[in-house]
Amino acid sequence: MPFPYLTEKNIVEIKRGASLRQVEIICLVADVGSISLAAEILGMSAANVCRTCGRFEKHFGFPVFKKKRRGIQLTEEGKAIIEVFADLNRCIEATARRLAGDS
């Protein structure tokens, strides 16, 4: 695997250890490219969004974002983890559809 932090074991740990709220916040920050805009959309303070991202990075030991003059950008590891989160979100959505009786 090209990212030393993202081994199969780490990906399983991330899927188990990341809260759904962290996944939601990190995905939104990645989508909009801005902590403050993500905070506004979520109805949270930018400081709380920044802390959530920082806790995730500290817990799992790799940076997801790098700060730019205007906004943020995903690191290579961040791009890979967003793919993992996309898989997780697809599973959650499929489960929700099944529980609702849709196929």
User: Which domains occur in the chain, in start order?
Assistant: 8-93 (1.10.10.10)
Q: Which of 50-54, 60-64, 82-86, 89-93 has the lowest mean pLDDT?
A: 89-93
- The secondary element (H helix, E strand) that includes residue 65 is strand 65-67
pLDDT tens digits, residue range 41-79? 999 999 999 999 999 888 888 899 998 888 899 999 999
DSSP conformation class of 74: E
**Planar angle of CA 17, 81, 32, nearest 5 degrees:** 110
Higher pLDDT, 14 or 90: 90
Tell me what pLDDT residue 100 has.
Answer: 87
Contact assessment for residue 1 and residue 7, using Cβ atoms and an 8 Å cutoff: yes
Reduce the DSSP state of residue 36 to 3 states and report it: helix
- The secondary element (H helix, E strand) that includes residue 82 is helix 76-99
Reduce the DSSP state of residue 89 to 3 states and report it: helix
Tell me what pLDDT residue 12 has.
Answer: 56
Question: pLDDT band at residue 3, thresholds of 50, 70 and 90?
Answer: very low
